[in-house]
Amino acid sequence: MKEILKKQLIEVLKDQKEIFGDELFQDNLLKRRTVVAEDTKQSIYKDVKSHSKVSEPLNLKKSNLDSLVFISEEKKTKLEGHSFFEKKEDWENSKNLEELNKLICNCQKCSLGATRNKFVFGSGNPNADVMAIGEGPGADEDAQGLPFVGRAGKLLTDILKAIKFEREEVYIANIVKCRPPGNRTPLPQEMDSCMPYLKKQIELIKPRLILCLGLTAAHGLLKKKDSLTNLRGKVFEFENAKVMVTFHPAALLRNPNWKRDCWEDVKKFRKLYDDLILSNGKN
């Protein structure tokens, strides 16, 4: 009995977070990160300034670093450990989705790799105009290695059908490719570790429109801290694609009252598609 109550409480809290966001937690985290990034930037800036007449911070790239001969070796070593100086990995040069999948399917970049059953790359039309992006694999997805299977997956198929898309013509993926234990929300550092893979998928597929399913997907992709209420109904941009946000199908299964709002969202999404694709054709 206690277990059932606990599970129900977790679901309710998840739903509240889905709608209202968790800005408080993310705010603090973001502030901490910004301070660290600013510290690094300032220390580089100071180094540059003390050795030259440069009056503005430089745009820091690996090539710039090599030319900054007046930065001490000790500082260079420290900077080379920073992410923007890391060497390109093989998967970044993938020419298609198949190759990318092969190169990243054994990833262990975050702790989710250790607990997954199956890596969930994504599925659908590799030339899709439309992508649907969710949060991460659940139990069914983890068992099958496919995104959006089970009840939530069926509901997503129905939602797509309602706005005249066949599931096969859309590409479906998630922010993280391995299941968070107990279906918890992926942590910010897990999303940051996995996002480059999704970005590469988007680069290869070149969708014109992206539908974010749920707040976590929207936060992960758009890096906006707003609540779902504020994000819904608006059109954002990501890598040349128009992005809209609606509810995650799993949240709709828990709260069927939100289906009407979701219907309004996806109708707007379809209209955007019609305006963009049907009137102009795909570039």
- By CB under 6 A, name the binding residues for ligand SF4: 107-110, 112-113, 176-178, 190, 193-194
Paired residues of 130 in beta bridges: 209
Residue 273 CB, nearest approach to ligand SF4 (Å): 29
Q: Specify the residue, 119 or 165, whose C-beta has the smaller distance to ligand SF4.
A: 119
Q: Specify the residue, 60 or 221, whose C-beta has the smaller distance to ligand SF4.
A: 221
Residue 100 CB, nearest approach to ligand SF4 (Å): 11
Contacts of 79 (CB under 8 A, 6+ apart): 40, 44, 65, 71, 85
CA dihedral 97, 173, 137, 249 (to 10 degrees): -160
Q: Specify the residue, 113 or 233, whose C-beta has the smaller distance to ligand SF4.
A: 113
Q: Specify the residue, 91 or 236, whose C-beta has the smaller distance to ligand SF4.
A: 91
Residue 121 CB, nearest approach to ligand SF4 (Å): 9
